[in-house]
Amino acid sequence: MPRGCDTPSYARRVDLALTPAQADTLAMLRGDGPRPSFDPALRRELRECLEDGIGDLAVLLERPLWAGKTPLGRVFACEAHEVAEQQEPFDWSLPNARGAVAHRAIELSVHLPAAAPPLHLVDTAITRMADDPDSGIGGFLAGLEEADVAELRSDVNNLVSDFLDQWPPLKTSWRPTTEARLKAELCKGKVVVSGKVDLALGAPAGTEAGRVFVELKSGAARAQHLDDLRLYALLETLRIGVPPRRLAVHSLDTGSLVVVDVDLDVLQAAVRRTIAGVRKLAELHLGLRAPQVTANPACRWCSARAGCAGAVRWAEGDPSADAV
């Protein structure tokens, strides 16, 4: 035990109602120092910058171009992969159902009035999702064999248990919201940029930032997850004029929590990435150029990997030349 950890002063610094992991999570989310304030004109300036950066392509679009976190992430990784995925219908599988069910179970844990065991939350989530006729995953869950359901329950139960072990109980005064959708219509609706925040806590006060956005991941945190959160911060600023105060990526598997404070540099980075990504998507959508092929880990599950030179190079362990 570290020196001094058994002293009364140490005990006073820890909320006795929380485990050390929960207390650490709460401290990282709260942060130190004063909360930043932002110029009321920021909202308008960011919109103008975005529209100036994509306007020349937006006028060529005959129907709205949707640019969410998934196509933006794919088009930066490999343009050919993005084009291929747009042409293929989405198929549910146990790995991607695992994340969807875990998010729904965690959502229930946040909003149910009384604490419930993790497995009860998981079963409730699976039942409600399978019975929802408007849910894309409903038919997949309803058609699973008994052994597959048991495997899914076990995997999701582990994730939900990890969340409840590592997060403090979320008080209603923190205004927790889950699966909150954000959307910005740019260039008179020709381009729609959207996202969905896994968990949001807090609220702004006037021009003072006070909200925290959290991305919950069943695997390890990756750089793209922070890119996604920066996009959400930008969309939030366009929506209400005040960005969130902090962004956090929480890995349920490892318990790691990566936290970034939001400032003008973060928002400007999000603007630059959004402009670059929307331009790529628009150029490909309009057929102004052929998609570039970039060898990357997604080659392993890309629908166009058969016969793709990039997938061959990645499989051979030689992704050194990005452009193929």
**Distance of alpha carbon 125 from alpha carbon 137, whole angstroms:** 12
User: Three-class SS of residue 247?
Assistant: strand
Give 136-183 pLDDT, tens digit per residue. Answer: 899 999 999 999 999 999 999 999 999 999 999 888 889 999 989 999
Give 218-267 pLDDT, tens digit per residue. Answer: 766 677 889 999 999 999 999 999 999 999 999 887 778 899 999 999 99
Confidence check: pLDDT of 323 > 70: no
% of residues, the chain, pLDDT over 90: 63
Residues 6+ apart with CB under 8 A from 77: 294, 296, 298
pLDDT of residue 155: 94
CA distances from 11 to 19, 168, 234 (A): 12, 17, 40
Give 184-206 pLDDT, tens digit per residue. Answer: 999 999 999 999 999 999 999 99
pLDDT of residue 12: 34
pLDDT, mean over the chain? 88
| Residue 7 one-letter amino acid | T
Residues 6+ apart with CB under 8 A from 310: 78, 80, 293, 294, 295, 296, 299, 324
Give 30-49 pLDDT, tens digit per residue. Answer: 888 889 999 999 999 999 99
CA distances from 251 to 99, 114, 158, 159, 263 (A): 12, 25, 13, 10, 24
Q: Extract the tokens encoding 124.
A: 């409730």
| Phi then psi dihedrals of residue 170, to 5 deg | -85, 115
pLDDT of residue 318: 58
Q: What is the DSSP string of 264-303?
A: HHHHHHHHHHHHHHHHHHHHHHHTSSPPP-B--GGGGT-T
pTM confidence score: 0.88
Give 74-129 pLDDT, tens digit per residue. Answer: 999 999 989 988 887 788 899 889 989 999 999 999 888 778 899 999 999 999 99
pLDDT of residue 223: 77
Q: What is the DSSP string of 211-224?
A: -EEEEEESS---HH
DSSP state of 208: B
Q: Which of 115, 83, 43 is nearest to 286 (CA)?
A: 83
Domain residue spans in the chain? Answer: 42-83+172-286
Strands 65-67 and 257-261: unpaired
Give 245-255 pLDDT, tens digit per residue. Answer: 999 999 887 77
Q: Which CATH architecture has domain 42-83+172-286?
A: Alpha-Beta Complex (3.90)
**Distance of alpha carbon 82 from alpha carbon 281, whole angstroms:** 9
pLDDT of residue 2: 42
Q: Extract the tokens encoding 159.
A: 């994730």
pLDDT of residue 260: 93
Residues 6+ apart with CB under 8 A from 237: 38, 42, 43, 46, 243, 267
Q: Extract the tokens encoding 150.
A: 């048991």
% of residues, the chain, pLDDT over 70: 92
Residue with tokens 């318990």: 255
